[in-house]
Structure 1
Amino acid sequence: MLYLTWRNVKMEYRIFLDTANIKEIEEALKTGIVTGIATNPNKMAKAGRTYEDVLKDIRSIFDGPVAVEAISTKAEDIINEAQELSSMSENIVIKIPANIEGIKAINKLVPMGVKTNATLIFNPAQALAAGLANSPFISPFIGRVNDIGHDGLTLFKQVREIYDFYDINSKVIAASIKNCSEAINAVLNGADSLALTYKVFNQLFEHPLTEIGIKNFTRDYDSIYK
């Protein structure tokens, strides 16, 4: 079953599930609100599988963008690796660090038709560079910015202001999100999309008052009909 097609250019990419665990992907897709999958070498190591194996399974149930990470560090090597990864499956998005070598690579790859996600962004200047290089997606990191004593949400507000001023169309994906509150605040501060772990994704549906309400409704129903 296909849930999404990249060729539908009007489709908005709101939630990327950040995992390489196929069972988690299968469960999350059942909600109908996952519009992309994001992976990286750390996620692959935890799953104990290769990109090829994971992509084969993902493609059997999902036809939207799947982000995989290039690990090369020099522009020419990144370009070669990105082309190889991109050839593995339609709709692959290549995650490339937004340092100078990465921006050089993105600038070359985008005209080739390779879809890129400028990642490991920790300041608005990196986001500006990635946007000017026409990367379709960029990923500023909230949690890791907060971890070093800065404000990840301010980062998103600044990126949105810059992108609106320059009319840059790159999709801003909030990454490194630790909880549901960070996810919502990222959207309120300008993120177009969210990259959520399975744990945080499930937090979108949870609230203790909802559970209390369900129990109360069930109790009242049973008191009448049983």
Structure 2
Amino acid sequence: MNQLDALKQFTTVVADTGDFKQLAQFKPQDATTNPSLILKAVQKPEYAPLLQSTVAQWKERPMDEVIDRLLVRFGCEILATIPGRVSTEVDARLSFDTSATVTRAERIIELYQAQGIHIDRVLIKVAATWEGIKAAEKLEQRGIHTNLTLLFSFCQAVACGQAKVQLISPFVGRIYDWYKKQAGASWDEAARSGANDPGVQSVTQIYNHYKHFGIATEVMGASFRNIGQITALAGCDLLTIAPELLAQLAASEALLQPALNAEAARAMALPAVQYDEAGFRYALNEDAMATEKLAEGIRSFAADAVKLEKLIQAV
């Protein structure tokens, strides 16, 4: 059995791509997209007709609506290929505006429903800022499920659990990137791999906290740099993996055992943690890596949203 098939026995495998033509070969349960992935996909020649037809149909509408319609068009194509859910992201420029995030999320869901897609097959992706978490809390109360992204710190995960969000996406690779860059020449790749990888440690801590305290929010490790990070998180609720890493897992016959265990987490002696807004902001501020990576991630997704707008204007 290859490692991909082995992984699927104890973790829901999710494809991290906007390229729905690639999906069928890996048979993932779910798929995630973000502005960067959609931007990458629409620049491929095979997706040009999809971009052109969507823009031609809706070009009289405001730009934000055209973008949402394009995202939903990709989401519907992905849902035709997979049995589970697709994650579609709210514009990152709304990351600090709770009410605008809620409004935009509701429109995205309405657009999916107009295409006959059931509400339970869509996760609305929102950046895990305090405002984003509050928006997600409101959306969940209205039956709209959310995926809190750009999650780098324990305090973000705790606040998401308190808000009863459906799913969180802690970013393994970006955490790893930050620590590696900080260490510079003193970074020891072998010593900081597998279970000692700082990104893997972050997700493991969050997973154990959720399982110990019976928090229903799903943990989906994201943003992987190598398959060692993936195999070190085998047993996590879900893992969202780029197609090139899915291919590496499918090509490997190495033995794969679960690394995370819900039962073991329930038996751990862990302190209860809760955050109000002030406590959350202070804890996030104390974590230099999470503060920098959250800000950088929002800037990057916002920049790609602007590039997508320019592509649409050029059609």
**TM-score interval w.r.t. the shorter chain?**
0.7 to 0.9
Aligned partners of 1:95 and 1:117 also within 8 Å: yes
The structure in which a higher percent of residues are helix is 2
**Could you list the per-position Cα deviations for residues 164-215 of structure 1 after superposition, in whole angstroms to 9, with x for gaps in the alignment?**
3321011100000122111111236xx2110000001111111389xxxxxx
Stretch moving more, 52-61 or 122-131: 52-61
Alignment correspondent of 1:45 = 39
1:53-132 pair list within 5 angstroms: 53-71=73-91, 72-73=94-95, 74-87=97-110, 88=112, 89-90=117-118, 91-132=121-162
Specify which structure has the bigger relative contact order, considering alpha-carbon pairs within 8 angstroms and separated by 6 or more residues.
2
List gaps (5 residues or longer) in structure 2. Answer: 1-9, 43-50, 52-69, 181-197, 255-315
* CA RMSD in angstroms, aligned pairs only: 2.0
Question: What TM-score, normalized by structure 1, do the two folds share?
Answer: 0.79
User: Of the candidates 153, 157, 172, which is equivalent to residue 200 of structure 2?
Assistant: 153
Alignment correspondent of 2:164 = 134
The structure in which a higher percent of residues are strand is 1
Question: What TM-score, normalized by structure 2, do the two folds share?
Answer: 0.58
Aligned partners of 1:19 and 1:43 also within 8 Å: yes
**Aligned AA for 2:211?**
D
User: Of the candidates 178, 193, 200, which is equivalent to residue 238 of structure 2?
Assistant: 193
Offset of residue 62 of structure 1: 3.0
Question: Percent identity over the alignment?
Answer: 28
Q: Distance in 1 between matches of 2:234 and 2:79?
A: 28
**Aligned AA for 1:21?**
D
Q: Distance in 2 between matches of 1:192 and 1:201?
A: 17
Aligned partners of 2:122 and 2:145 also within 8 Å: yes
SS in 2 for 1:17: strand
SS in 2 for 1:76: helix
Aligned partners of 1:85 and 1:92 also within 8 Å: no
Offset of residue 69 of structure 1: 0.7
Alignment correspondent of 1:36 = 30
Alignment correspondent of 1:224 = none
Alignment correspondent of 2:250 = 205
SS in 1 for 2:179: coil
**Could you list the per-position Cα deviations for residues 8-53 of structure 1 after superposition, in whole angstroms to 9, with x for gaps in the alignment?**
xxxx971110001121112223xxxx11010011011011142133
**Aligned AA for 1:81?**
R
SS in 1 for 2:250: coil
Offset of residue 63 of structure 1: 4.0
SS in 2 for 1:145: helix
Q: Distance in 1 between matches of 2:140 and 2:157?
A: 16
Write out the 4+ residue segments of structure 1 that deviate beyond 3 Å after TM superposition. none
**Aligned AA for 1:107?**
E
List gaps (5 residues or longer) in structure 1. Answer: 1-11, 210-226
Q: Distance in 1 between matches of 2:239 and 2:103?
A: 28
- The answer to whether the aligner puts 1:164 opposite 2:194 as a matched pair is no
Q: Distance in 2 between matches of 1:13 and 1:115?
A: 20
